Structure 1
Amino acid sequence: MKIYFTVFLLLFSFSMRAQVSGVVKDKNQTALPAVSVMVKDSYLGTSTNVEGQFSINGLSKGKHTLIIKKLGFRIESRTVLIDTESTFLDIVLEPEELAIEEVVVTSVENPAHRIIRQAQAHRRANADKNDKFHADFYSRGTMWIKNLPKKIALAEVDDEMIGLLDSTRSGIVYLSETVSTISFQKPNKLYENIVASKVSGDDRGFSFNTAIGTNFDFYSDRVELGASVVSPISSAAFNYYTYRLVDSRLEEGHHVYKIRVLPKRDKEPTVEGFLYIVEDSWEIYAVDFAIPGYRLQVPVIDTLKLVQQYHFNTPDRRWVKSLQTIDFGIGLLGININGRYIHNFSNYAFVEQFEKGTFGSTLSRMTGNANQKDSAYWANRRPVPLTEEEATDYVKKDSVQTIRNSKTYVDSVDRKHNRFQPTDVLTGYTYRNSHKKLEIGYKGLSNIFATGFNPVQGWTFSALLQAKLGDAQVGNRSTFSTTFQYGVAEDKLRVQANLLHRFNTKNYAMLSLEGGNKVVQFNENGGVHPFINMVSSLFFKENFMQLYQKKFITAAYAQNIAIPLRFFVNASYQNRQPLFNHTNYSFLKKDKEYVSNNPLSPEDQESAPFEAHKIFKTSLALQWTPGLKAVERGDYRMLLNEGSRPQITVGYHYNIGTEDRKYNHQMLFAQVSQSMTMGYAGQLRARVNTGKFFNAEGIAFTDYKHFNGNRTHIGTTGSYMNTFLNMPYYANSTKDAYFEAHAEHDFKGFVMNKLPLLNRLQWNLVVGYHHLSTTEHKPYHEVTAGFNNIGWGKFRLLRFDFVRSFQGDRTENGFVVGLKFLNVLN
C-alpha cells in the first residue's frame, strides 16, 4: 500500500509541474540572444539562445510573473496563468531610450565618480551578501570555424574535419553542455557535482564546460580572465579608468545607473563597456564589457566580450548573478574561430556555514552515467534551448560517429593511413590498428633534431622505432621505443630501449624499464641544448657539451599516493666510460681546436675526466603540492597544477660502487618552487634547491652535483627558474653541500604599459636574481634585467636579458637571447 501511495504522490507532483517556453524578439522581429528570463521572487530562470528561444521547466501550475530583460532594452514583465503542461509566449522587447542625456562633465565633479566611489565603498559588504551558496549550474560551449583554409602551415587539413563542415568550410567545430550542482564560498572554494555531460560527436566524451574558472567577480580588485584584469570598482580603479554617466532609470523598482567605462591607457589589463549600478545598495546590476586579446597578453584572441546579468530576489533582498555569456574570436595561421559560452545560474540556496568536508582536493566530480543521458533528459533539463544549427550538429555528428566507429569504416581509414610511401623512409611511418588501440611507428631522419654534431661523435644520425598500445587519454597504456644513434667520426652505433607503462589515469602509477648504451652529458638533467651546441660548434668552433658513455639498465616507478602527494623510486646499474674528441670538423675557424671533452681540464686532450667504473644507483623522492586540486571524470583524474601552489620535493640518493667502494656515497636533497601573482604588478617566480653529500670524497665527476649554466648566450625557456644565465657549466660543480636560489619577476606590462610609445611594443620588463653557494667555491650571484613577450603581432616567442655576474672579485657582463620556440620544437 505504501508503494502505491508513493507512486501516486510522484505522479501527482509531476502533473502539477509545467513548462513555459517562448521566443523573444525586438520590434523588427529579430531574435534576441542572451535575454535573461527569470521567475519573479525566485531563483528559477533561464536565458534565450541565439534564435531568441527560451524554456523554463518545473513550474507549478498557477500564476507566475516572468521578468524578461536584456541590456539595451526595456524590461518586460509578463504574468502568466499556467493551467496546462505547456505555455508558449511571444515577447517583444522595446529598445532602451536614454532617460537622461549623456552628462557633460564640467568643473563640478563628474557624477559617475560619485557612483563609482559608493560602489567601491560598499563592494566588500555587497560581495559578502552572496559569499556562501549552493546553486544549479548549466553551461554550453559552442565554437564555429569560418572558411577553414585548405592548408595550415603547409599541411593539408584532415578530410574528416572537412567532412563535418559545409561547402564554405564553415560550421560548428565544438559543442558541449554540462548540468551540475555547485557549492561555492568566496573567494575561491568550489565543489561541483556534474550530473549530465554531453559532447557533440562523442557519446563517451566528458564536457570540460564546468563551473571551474567561471567566477568572474567584479567586486574583487582583480578579475582573472587569463590575466589579472583591473575591476572598474577596485580600490585602484581611478588610476586605470575614466567614467561617464550615460543613463539613469527605474528597473524592477530600483534606480539603476548606466556608466560608460573606458581605460586610460589602451595596453593596460582593463575592460571597456558599460557598468550598471543599483542606487542605495550600490550593487552590480549588470556588466557589459569587452577586452582585446592584446590587453590579456593572449594575442591569438581578437576580442573577448563578457556580459553578466543579475536578478533581484525580493524575499531574500539579494541581487544574484543569473546569466553570464562569454563571446570571443580567435585568429591564427588563417584559422578563424568564434565561440560562445553560456553560464546559467539558478535555484540559489544561501547558507551561513557549509558542512565540514564540503570542500576538499576535488573541485569537480562527474557521476558515472553523466555522459549517458538520453535526449529526453536533455529536453527536460536544458534551461537554454538548442538553436536549429546546434540541434542539427548533434544529429549530424552522432550519425557520423556511428559510422566512424563501425569496424568497416575504421578499418578503411586505417588501410588508407597505413599505405607505405617511399618518402616515408625520410619522413617516418606509422602503422595503426585503431580497434586494438595499437600504433607501430618509425620516426624518420627528416626531423632536424634527429641529426646532430659534436666533437666526440662527429655527425650523429638517430632513428626511433616505437610501439604504443592503449588509449592515449584514459586508462592503461604501454609505450615501447628503441632508439638507434650512429656517430660518424666515432664510427659507433649505440642502441637503447625503453618500456613505459601507465597503469591508470587515477593515481597515474607509472613503471619504466630502460636499458642500453647511450652518450650523455655530465650534467644529465640539464646541460647544453644539443641543437644550440651544434650551431655553436660548426659556426663558431665553440663546443660546450662534454659527454661520457653509459651502458645501463634502469627501473623506475612513480604514483600519486594522494592528490597532492607523488612518490618516486628509481634503481639503476651503470657502466660508465670516458670519451674523447674524434673530430675537429667545423664550417668556420677550421684551424682552431675544440676544447677537450674533459670539463676538469678543457685544454688537456689526453687525460680522462674520470676512471671507467660501475655503479648501482638508487633514489627515493616525495613531491608534495599543498592545496593541489583535481577534477574527477570517471576513471580519469585531471590535476589542476596552475603553478600558484608551492611544490616541495625531498629525496635521498644511495649509490654503491660495485667494484670499488670509493664510489659509495649518499645524498639528501630538497627543493621548493612557487609562482605567485603579485596583483597588478605581474608574476613572481621563485625556486630554492639545496642538498648535502655524505661519504663522497672519492666519487667520480659524473656523480657531482652539476648546475645549469649558459655560455651560448641562447635561452630556450620562457623563464629561468632552473638555470644561471652567465655561469660556466662545470665551474661550480660540487660533491659537498650546496644551496641554489632563483627568483624572477615578470611585470606583465605593469611598467612598460605606462610608458608612451614603448607601450606599443607590448614587451614585459623582467628582472631576476640567481644565487649559488657551495662548500668548495665562493658564492656566485647573478642579477638580470630584460624583456619578455618580444615578437610581432600574434607571435611572441622571444626574450632578451642583460646579465651581470659576481663571484669573489670577478665580475662579468653578458646577455641571453631567448628563443622560446626551440623548447617547443624539440
Structure 2
Amino acid sequence: MRFRVLFLLFLHLKFFASAQEITISGRITDGQGKPIPFTSVSTKDHKISAIANEDGYYKLSLVPDKYVLVFSYIGYKPREVAVLLKKASSINIEMEADVYRLEEVIITSPKNDPALAMIKKVIAKRKNFQNEAPAYSCDVYVRGVQKLTHAPKKILGRNIADIIGLDASGKAILYQSETYSRIYLNRPDKKEIMIASKVAGDNKGFSFNSGLDLQINFYNNLLHWDALGNSNFVSPIADNATEYYRYKLTGSSVINGRTIHKIQVSSRSRNSPAFNGDLYILEGDWRLYSVDLTLTSNARINFVDTLQINQNFVEVEKNVWKQSDISLRSKGKVLGFEFEGYFVGLNSHYTLNPEVPAKFFNDEILKIPADVNKQEADYWIKNRPSPLTNEEFVNYYIRDSIEAKKQSRPYLDSLQRKVNKFRLVQYTLTGYRAKNLFRNSSWYIYPLHNTVFYNTVEGWGINFRALYNKQFSFRRYLEVEPNVRYGFTSKTLNANAAITYKYDTLYHASLTLKGGTDFLDLNNRGTINQFYNTLTTLFDGKNYLKLYRSRFLSFRAHHEISDGLQVTGGMEIARRYPVQNAKNLPVFENAAKMLTSNNPLIPDKDEDLFPINNAFVIEAKASYTYGQRYTNRPDGKIYESPRYPTIQLDYRKGVKDVFHSAVDYDFISADLFQDKINMGLLGYSSFYLSAGKFLNSKSLYYPDIHHFTGNQTAIYNPIFPNFHFLNYYAYSTTDKYFEAHYEHNFSGLLIRKLPLLRQLKLEEIVGGAFLTLPSNDYKEVYFGLQRLLFRIDYGYSWSGNEKPKPAFRLFYGF
C-alpha cells in the first residue's frame, strides 16, 4: 500500500511540476540542412531528456533556469548549448559530423587490426556489463509508427484504398501509438507498469508498445525477436563473435574527455546470422558507448528486409552505464505492399536498487491498467518528449476525428452497410462476417469450402455453421454457434448449438453448454479434415472418415485457478447410434470400387461397430506451467511462450446407470510437453510425452476408447504433436499406452550454406514419434522444409517388424 501511495504521489508531483514548465524547441540538422532524426537531447546532468522526431524537431520542457543542453547522435560531435530559459524559446541546432581519426598504424592483415584487440577486451568484460547494476527502474517513453508506402490497387476484388484508407499519394499510417511506462528489473525478474497509452483512431484501445521489449542488451551472446521469425542473431561482442565478424578500426575521437573508438563490424559470411555497422567503444572501460547496427534479409529476418538499430548509453552513476535511448527502423516489401516504420524508446529517471514491495516480481511482466487510455490531449502535449511529425499529427487528427464521428448514428449506419456487404470471393475463401456496431456484436458465416462436403454415410451434404459474438465488456463475451447439417443421399437432418459465456477473460473463465444431434468422427480427436476427406473419397476412393450419430447434451467449465494452473471440468449425456454407408452413392466409378465400409475394424463389410447405447461421462482436467509469464491487459491475459514444460492430468469416467447409461470405465492420462525450446543458433525444439491407462474398462464402446491424432492424407495439419502417417483408427486402445513426439527446427542453419536454396529462407525440420501399446507399436521419422505458411515433409513409418513405408506430406496455412 505504501508503495502504491508513493508511486501515485510521484506521478502527481511530476504532473504539478510540469504545469510550471516552459518549452525550448527547434530543429536539428547536419551541415547540409538535412534533419537528423532521433537525436538525443538532455540537460548536462541527464535528469531531463528528450529525443528528436523523425524530421529532426525536438522539444524540451523545463522550469525557468540556466541550463547546458547536450545534443548527441551517433556519428556526430556532441553539441553543448548554454541557455538562460525565461520564456518559451526556439533554438535550431546544426550538428557537425564527428571525425574519427586513425593514427598511422601499419596494418598488414585483418588479424593485426587494433580493432580486434579492442573487441577482445570488450568480450572479456561482457559478463560484467551484462549483469551490471542488475536491479534498477526507469521511465520509458515508446512511440511506434508503421507506414504503408506503396500498395496494389486491389486484393480479392476489393480496393485497397477503401480497406486501409490511403491518402492521395497512395500511402497510409497503419499503426501509430505511444506509451509511458515505468519498468523494473532485477535480473532475471522484470516488470513493466504502463502509465499512459494512446492509439491513433482507437480511444478505447490499448497499445501493444512495450518498454521492456526495447531494452536490447548486446552484452548477451544471442539476440532474438519473435517478430522477425525463428532465427537468433550473434552479438558482435558475443564470446564467439570473432567466428562471425570481421572488425576494422575506422578512427577515434575524444568526447567529454573520454576517447571513443569507432569499430566497423561486418559479417564474415553474407548469409550468417550477424549484424553489420559500427560499434563505438569507450577506451579504458572497454564498454559500449553507442551502437549503430543493421540486419538485412541475408541474415534470414522475416517480414522486413532491413532493421536498423541505433542505441546510446548514459552514465547514470559513476561507472554504471545504462541505455538512454534507442530507435529501430525497418523497411520491407511483400506481395506488392511496401512498408516502413520505426519504434523509438527514451529511458529516463533511473533509480538503482529501487525499493519494491514483497512479491512485486511475479509472472506478470506487463500490467496495463484500464485507465491508461483516459489521458487527454493536454497530457501528451506536456509530457511527450518527442514532438509529432506533421504526418503523425495529421494522422492523429484524422483518425481521432473519424473515431468521434463513429459515435454518430448516420456514420455507423453507413459504415455498417459498407463492412457488411456480401462478397462471394471473400465468402468462398475466408467466410462472411456481419457486424452490428450499435450492439457490439457480429455474425460470422464459415466459408464455402467448410460448408459443402461429401462422405460415404451422407453423400453430398451441407454443413451450415455460424458464430454469433456479443461483447458486454472488456472481459465478458457471449458466443453462440449454431450448426445445421443435411445429407442429401441419406436424407438426414442434424442440428445443434453451442453457447459459451466467457465471464472473465483475465482468468480464461468460461462456461459452455452444447446440445443437439450430429454426425461425429469415431476418432474423438477429430483429426480428419472434412474438405480433404471429400477430395480423397471422390477422386481416390479413400473414405478415411468414419462416423457415428449422436444425440447429446454437454456442459463444460474452464478457469485459471492461479498463474499457470488451469482446470477444466465437464459432463456429457449422449445417445449414440452406429451408421453405415448410404446406398446408391454418387461417386466416380473408379473411386467407388475402392471405398470401404463405415466400420474401421471390418472395412469390407457393412456391419454395425457397436449397438445403440446411452452414455453419461464426466471429465476433469488440470494443467500447470511453472513460471508462465503473461501480459495483464484490461481485455484479458496474453501468455508468453512458456520457459518450462507444461504438465497435464486428465481423468475421464463413464458412469453406469445414470440417465440409463450403459458405460462403465475409468481412464487416466498424464502429459508433459513444451513447444519451441530455444536452442540458440541450432534453432528450436518441441517435445510431447503422454501416458495413459484404462483403470477400469468393464463397459465401453468405440467412441469411448482412447484415440490418437493420426493422419493418412497427403495434405495435413502439422500442429505439434500430431502424428504424420498414423492410421486414424487402427491403434485406438482400451488398455494402456505411451507416446512420444520430438521435432526440431534448424531455422535455416544448414540451408543458409547452400548458394541457391538459401535465397528461399527455408527452415529445415527433423522429427519423429513413436507409440507403444501392449499388443503393438508404431514409429515414424520425417524431415521437411518450411517457409512461413508452406511446409513439405518426407518420412517413413513402420509398425513392429514391417518394412518402413515412405510418404510425403504437404501443408499450406491459408
Per the alignment, residue 168 of structure 2 pairs with 167
Once residues 480 and 595 of structure 1 are traced to their aligned partners in structure 2, the CA distance between those partners, rounded to angstroms, is 36
Q: CA offset at residue 337 of structure 1?
A: 2.0
> Which residues of 2 match residues 1-16 of structure 1 at below 5 A?
none
1:291 aligns with 2:295: yes
SS, match of residue 535 in structure 1: helix
Question: Aligned to 2:332, which of 313, 326, 330?
Answer: 330
Once residues 12 and 270 of structure 1 are traced to their aligned partners in structure 2, the CA distance between those partners, rounded to angstroms, is 47
Q: CA offset at residue 574 of structure 1?
A: 0.9
Once residues 705 and 660 of structure 1 are traced to their aligned partners in structure 2, the CA distance between those partners, rounded to angstroms, is 23
Q: CA offset at residue 386 of structure 1?
A: 1.3
> Which residues of 2 match residues 281-680 of structure 1 at below 5 A?
281-293=285-297, 295-298=299-302, 300-313=303-316, 315-351=317-353, 355-415=357-417, 432-440=435-443, 442=445, 447-470=448-471, 474-582=474-582, 585-587=586-588, 589-590=590-591, 592-603=593-604, 605-634=605-634, 636-658=635-657, 663-675=663-675, 676-680=677-681
Per the alignment, residue 785 of structure 1 pairs with 783
Q: CA offset at residue 485 of structure 1?
A: 1.5
Q: For the Cα contact (< 8 Å) 1:130–1:320, is it kept in 2?
A: no
> Which residues of 2 match residues 771-810 of structure 1 at below 5 A?
771-775=770-774, 777-789=775-787, 796-810=788-802
Q: 1:12 to 1:593 in 2, by over 3 A?
A: closer
Q: How many positions carry a matched residue from both structures?
A: 793
Q: Which amino acid aligns with 2:598?
A: N
Q: CA offset at residue 213 of structure 1?
A: 2.1
Once residues 106 and 603 of structure 2 are traced to their aligned partners in structure 1, the CA distance between those partners, rounded to angstroms, is 76
Q: CA offset at residue 529 of structure 1?
A: 1.9
Once residues 562 and 489 of structure 2 are traced to their aligned partners in structure 1, the CA distance between those partners, rounded to angstroms, is 50
Q: For the Cα contact (< 8 Å) 2:457–2:580, is it kept in 1?
A: yes
SS, match of residue 146 in structure 1: strand
Once residues 211 and 304 of structure 1 are traced to their aligned partners in structure 2, the CA distance between those partners, rounded to angstroms, is 18
Once residues 629 and 438 of structure 2 are traced to their aligned partners in structure 1, the CA distance between those partners, rounded to angstroms, is 34
1:247 aligns with 2:251: yes
Q: Which sections of structure 2, spanning at least 5 residues, go unmatched?
A: 1-12
SS, match of residue 120 in structure 1: helix
Q: Which amino acid aligns with 1:565?
A: L
Q: 1:755 to 1:146 in 2, by over 3 A?
A: closer
SS, match of residue 414 in structure 1: helix
Q: 1:521 to 1:337 in 2, by over 3 A?
A: same
Q: CA offset at residue 681 of structure 1?
A: 0.6
Q: CA offset at residue 366 of structure 1?
A: 2.7
Q: For the Cα contact (< 8 Å) 1:475–1:503, is it kept in 2?
A: yes
Q: Which amino acid aligns with 1:49?
A: N
Q: For the Cα contact (< 8 Å) 1:725–1:816, is it kept in 2?
A: no
1:24 aligns with 2:28: yes
Output one character per residue of 1:105-142: Cα deviation in whole Å (capped at 9) or x when no partner: 52462322112111111111112224221101000111
Q: CA offset at residue 104 of structure 1?
A: 7.8
1:136 aligns with 2:133: no
Q: Which amino acid aligns with 2:335?
A: L
Per the alignment, residue 739 of structure 2 pairs with 740
Once residues 538 and 133 of structure 2 are traced to their aligned partners in structure 1, the CA distance between those partners, rounded to angstroms, is 65
Q: CA offset at residue 421 of structure 1?
A: 9.4
Q: CA offset at residue 430 of structure 1?
A: 5.8
Q: Which amino acid aligns with 1:627?
A: G
Q: CA offset at residue 340 of structure 1?
A: 1.0
Calculate the TM-score normalised by the size of structure 1.
0.90
SS, match of residue 506 in structure 1: helix
Q: Which amino acid aligns with 2:390?
A: E
Per the alignment, residue 806 of structure 2 pairs with 814
Q: For the Cα contact (< 8 Å) 2:183–2:212, is it kept in 1?
A: no
Q: Which amino acid aligns with 1:622?
A: A
Per the alignment, residue 232 of structure 1 pairs with 236
- Stretch deviating more after TM superposition (147-156 or 224-233): 147-156
Q: CA offset at residue 392 of structure 1?
A: 2.1
Q: CA offset at residue 243 of structure 1?
A: 1.8
Once residues 200 and 740 of structure 2 are traced to their aligned partners in structure 1, the CA distance between those partners, rounded to angstroms, is 48
Q: 1:422 to 1:376 in 2, by over 3 A?
A: closer
Q: For the Cα contact (< 8 Å) 2:525–2:708, is it kept in 1?
A: no
SS, match of residue 502 in structure 1: strand
Q: For the Cα contact (< 8 Å) 1:466–1:482, is it kept in 2?
A: yes
Q: Which amino acid aligns with 2:99?
A: E
Q: Which amino acid aligns with 2:776?
A: K
Once residues 148 and 408 of structure 1 are traced to their aligned partners in structure 2, the CA distance between those partners, rounded to angstroms, is 30
Once residues 79 and 817 of structure 1 are traced to their aligned partners in structure 2, the CA distance between those partners, rounded to angstroms, is 69
Q: Which amino acid aligns with 1:637?
A: G
Q: 1:620 to 1:638 in 2, by over 3 A?
A: same
Question: Aligned to 1:78, which of 60, 66, 81?
Answer: 81
Q: For the Cα contact (< 8 Å) 1:292–1:304, is it kept in 2?
A: yes
Q: For the Cα contact (< 8 Å) 2:42–2:48, is it kept in 1?
A: yes
Calculate the TM-score normalised by the size of structure 2.
0.91
Q: 1:207 to 1:114 in 2, by over 3 A?
A: same
Q: For the Cα contact (< 8 Å) 2:244–2:274, is it kept in 1?
A: yes
Q: For the Cα contact (< 8 Å) 2:99–2:253, is it kept in 1?
A: no
SS, match of residue 220 in structure 2: coil
Q: Which amino acid aligns with 1:301?
A: V
Q: 1:819 to 1:383 in 2, by over 3 A?
A: same
Q: For the Cα contact (< 8 Å) 2:614–2:661, is it kept in 1?
A: no
Q: 1:231 to 1:735 in 2, by over 3 A?
A: same
1:55 aligns with 2:59: yes
> Which residues of 2 match residues 188-227 of structure 1 at below 5 A?
189-226=189-226, 227=231
- Stretch deviating more after TM superposition (679-688 or 523-532): 523-532
Q: Which amino acid aligns with 1:405?
A: Q
SS, match of residue 96 in structure 1: coil
Q: Which sections of structure 1, spanning at least 5 residues, go unmatched?
A: 1-8, 790-795
Per the alignment, residue 793 of structure 1 pairs with none
Q: CA offset at residue 166 of structure 1?
A: 2.0
Output one character per residue of 1:727-767: Cα deviation in whole Å (capped at 9) or x when no partner: 22222211122111111111111222234444334322222
Output one character per residue of 1:417-470: Cα deviation in whole Å (capped at 9) or x when no partner: 567899999998765431122335655xx6122112222222222223443322
Q: For the Cα contact (< 8 Å) 2:690–2:739, is it kept in 1?
A: yes
Q: 1:98 to 1:591 in 2, by over 3 A?
A: same
Q: For the Cα contact (< 8 Å) 1:268–1:749, is it kept in 2?
A: no
Q: 1:29 to 1:691 in 2, by over 3 A?
A: same
Output one character per residue of 1:553-591: Cα deviation in whole Å (capped at 9) or x when no partner: 111111222232222111111111111112555436246
Q: 1:523 to 1:338 in 2, by over 3 A?
A: same
Q: Which amino acid aligns with 1:805?
A: S
Per the alignment, residue 90 of structure 1 pairs with 92
Q: Which amino acid aligns with 1:739?
A: F
Q: CA offset at residue 87 of structure 1?
A: 4.1
Once residues 369 and 387 of structure 1 are traced to their aligned partners in structure 2, the CA distance between those partners, rounded to angstroms, is 26
Per the alignment, residue 5 of structure 2 pairs with none
Q: For the Cα contact (< 8 Å) 1:102–1:245, is it kept in 2?
A: no
Once residues 310 and 215 of structure 2 are traced to their aligned partners in structure 1, the CA distance between those partners, rounded to angstroms, is 13
Q: Which amino acid aligns with 1:785?
A: F
Q: For the Cα contact (< 8 Å) 2:628–2:642, is it kept in 1?
A: no
Q: For the Cα contact (< 8 Å) 2:654–2:663, is it kept in 1?
A: yes
SS, match of residue 504 in structure 2: coil
Q: CA offset at residue 509 of structure 1?
A: 1.8
Q: For the Cα contact (< 8 Å) 1:584–1:593, is it kept in 2?
A: no
Q: 1:353 to 1:109 in 2, by over 3 A?
A: farther
